[in-house]
Amino acid sequence: MEGIPHPIPRTVEEVFNDFKGRRSGLIKALTTDVDKFYQQCDPEKENLCLYGLPNETWEVNLPVEEVPPELPEPALGINFARDGMQEKDWISLVAVHSDSWLLSVAFYFGARFGFGKNERKRLFLMINDLPSIFEVVTGNVKPSKDQSAIHNSSSKSKSSAKSRQSEPESKMVKMSPPSKDEDESGEEDEEDDEQGATCGACGDSYGTDEFWICCDICERWFHGKCVKITPAKAEHIKQYKCPSCSSKRARV
């Protein structure tokens, strides 16, 4: 698929560098070059794929004719879905498939050149230290270099925490408001209110298949999507303040 030959990575470091180069190219396609990428994905054309190249560039092209291909192939036919959904949703979908493709290419090289358990683990840890393309495109998670600041701020005193926050991590990733089993010390009226909670942002009732998060200040519940918080991001938040409470604090 790639017109210019690229050195075949054979060590963990070389595979990781190949991964980073392809990842950079894909991120460019879905961010700074997104208009150009969008135009090239004409639904009237044949099945198209988005390729990230080791030299930090990208291209939209037809899949290789060789079967089986020399390398794992990206998602096929991304152009067909372009006009069937909102642009941001389509870009996010392509980002998810691009993340999957990058991992398949990296571990294809690992299998081809006989990486052992320790080498595969080291490669995964190096890759996992980088935000995924989906996270970069949607802005859901800050780059890893900022995570230390998040962890440092999380060490602050939690003396004002509510009794039902005895398990903060599980609270943050609930798909629905907490049940009575999760709060034996809470009042029944409060629990009943939570079971019938509505989103403090959009006003809709919760669905069992949706991620929710509770503000530790006003105790209102919100759809994660309404306040731009994902389960992954919530894992790093020790005390969540909704946009309204955050703005009130800022004005004080």
Q: What is the mean pLDDT of each run of 10 residues along the chain (252 residues)?
A: 64 95 97 96 93 96 89 93 92 96 96 94 95 92 47 42 38 46 47 62 76 86 85 82 72 44
Listed in order, strand segments (DSSP E) in the chain are 49-52, 58-61, 212-214, 221-223
Contact 12, 119 (CB under 8 A): yes
State the pLDDT at residue 248: 65
DSSP class of 151: H
State the pLDDT at residue 154: 45
CB-CB neighbours of 57 under 10 Å: 18
User: Token pair for residue 220?
Assistant: 């209102």
State the pLDDT at residue 87: 93
Determine how β-strand 221-223 pairs with β-strand 212-214: antiparallel
State the pLDDT at residue 89: 94
State the pLDDT at residue 166: 38
State the pLDDT at residue 5: 58
State the pLDDT at residue 172: 44
CB-CB neighbours of 3 under 10 Å: 7
User: Token pair for residue 190?
Assistant: 């409060």
State the pLDDT at residue 223: 85
Phi, psi of 150 (to 5 degrees): -65, -45
Contact 233, 140 (CB under 8 A): yes
Strand pairing partners for 221? 214
Residue 9's contacts (CB-CB under 8 Å, 6 or more residues apart) are 15, 17, 18, 109
State the pLDDT at residue 142: 56
pTM of the model: 0.55
